[in-house]
Amino acid sequence: MKRVFLDANVLFSAAWRDANGLLRLWSLTGVELVTSDYAAREAEINLPDETRRQRLQQLLRHVTLLPHPAAPPPLPSGVRLSPKDVPILQAAICAQAAVLLTGDVTYFGPYFGKCLGGVLVLPPAEFLAAG
């Protein structure tokens, strides 16, 4: 089973409306969706209304929610991220995820298609297109 870590922006986007392409992630076979409590909390606080927050909670029922690692690993050499993104990569590495899905083009974009600490960083559309 392939472990796929969801960044906060993926959770946020999936919860934004009830009919969107990201929801396909929840129906994939052979995939375990995981995230951290940090990412889930970040997605939730940025959703503007109760309907979307409830939708997020429904989605999270089908995602393995991991606590933020007590002793997070250092970032791989040469990797530069914003302070809010560092815990996302650290949690994905600690989760031993095969893939980190993120829509953050600004900070993670330079790493799309690259392995960081054993985790392949991809935008959701590319992951879904690969099937």
CA distance 74 to 77: 9
Give yes or no for residue 18 having a pLDDT over 90.
no
Question: pLDDT confidence of 53, banded at 50, 70, 90?
Answer: very high
- The encoded tokens of residue 71 equal 């002793």
Give yes or no for residue 2 having a pLDDT over 90.
yes
Q: Strands 99-101 and 119-122, how do they pair?
A: parallel
pTM (predicted TM-score): 0.96
Structurally, the chain folds into a number of domains equal to 1
Is residue 85 a contact partner of residue 110, using CB atoms and an 8 Å limit?
no
The CATH number of the domain where 120 resides is what? 3.40.50.1010
Q: Supply the pLDDT for residue 69.
A: 83
Summary mean pLDDT of the chain: 96
CA distance 77 to 79: 6
Q: Supply the pLDDT for residue 68.
A: 84
Averaged pLDDT, 99-118? 97
**Domain residue limits at 80:** 2-130
Is residue 104 a contact partner of residue 7, using CB atoms and an 8 Å limit?
yes
